[in-house]
């Protein structure tokens, strides 16, 4: 991949020209779509923070409350999982179970398990189970 940048300080913009193999175009566009996107979350002490969506590893419902995890922190999210899944539909996120949606950009590996399931290992070392009803859609999003 190569990139060429032309800055126009007078207009306050830059034009970026990227040459990328066609089979990597969708992945590049998905990553670019995360730029500047944030998700609201509440810390354990009640402070509302805005976290870059690219920093989120996964969303998970526990006891009817939605949380999202970054590399080291967990935040409560004021949305429902189904609503979040809809908002993330065109981004590199995939439903992996009834209770979780994972950021595919934070995926280190997947491994087949018994009963047609997968184990997804994230770049922070955490593991999530991809239930069999979601395996096909996860593989399609990953292009495997």
- Tens-digit pLDDT profile for residues 61-86: 999 999 999 998 999 998 899 988 88
Q: What is the pLDDT of residue 38?
A: 85
Q: What is the pLDDT of residue 114?
A: 85
Residue 20 · residue 29 · CB < 8 Å:
no
**Distance between CA atoms of 30 and 56, rounded to whole angstroms?**
14
- SS3 (DSSP) at 134: helix
Residue 110 · residue 123 · CB < 8 Å:
no
The answer to whether residue 21 scores a pLDDT higher than 90 is no
Neighbours of 66 (CB within 10 A): 21
Q: Nearest CA to 34 among 98, 90, 72?
A: 90
Q: What is the pLDDT of residue 34?
A: 53
Q: What is the pLDDT of residue 31?
A: 57
The answer to whether residue 8 scores a pLDDT higher than 90 is no
Q: What is the pLDDT of residue 9?
A: 87
Could you give all domains of the chain from N- to C-terminal order, each with its CATH number?
A: 1-35 (no CATH), 36-142 (2.40.50.1020)
Helices (H), the chain: 22-34, 81-87, 132-142
Q: What is the pLDDT of residue 6?
A: 86
**Distance between CA atoms of 140 and 66, rounded to whole angstroms?**
25
- Largest Cα–Cα distance in the chain? 60
Q: What is the pLDDT of residue 18?
A: 80
The answer to whether residue 30 scores a pLDDT higher than 60 is no
Q: What is the pLDDT of residue 61?
A: 95
Over the stretch 129-142, which tens digit does the pLDDT of each residue have? 999 999 998 888 88
Average pLDDT, integer, range 74-100: 90
């Amino acid at each position: 991949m190569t990139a060429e940048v032309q800055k126009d300080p007078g207009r306050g913009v830059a034009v970026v020209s990227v040459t990328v193999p066609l089979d990597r175009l969708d992945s590049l566009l998905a990553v670019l779509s995360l730029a500047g996107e944030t998700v609201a979350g509440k810390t354990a002490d009640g402070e509302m923070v805005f976290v870059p969506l690219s920093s989120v590893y996964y969303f998970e419902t526990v006891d009817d409350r939605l949380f999202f995890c970054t590399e080291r922190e967990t935040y409560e999210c004021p949305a429902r999982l189904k609503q979040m899944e809809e908002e993330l539909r065109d981004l590199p996120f995939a439903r992996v179970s009834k209770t979780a949606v994972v950021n595919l950009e934070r995926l280190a590996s997947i491994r087949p398990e018994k009963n047609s399931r997968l184990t997804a290992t994230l770049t922070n070392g955490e593991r999530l189970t991809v239930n069999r009803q979601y395996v096909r859609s996860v593989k399609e999003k990953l292009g495997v």
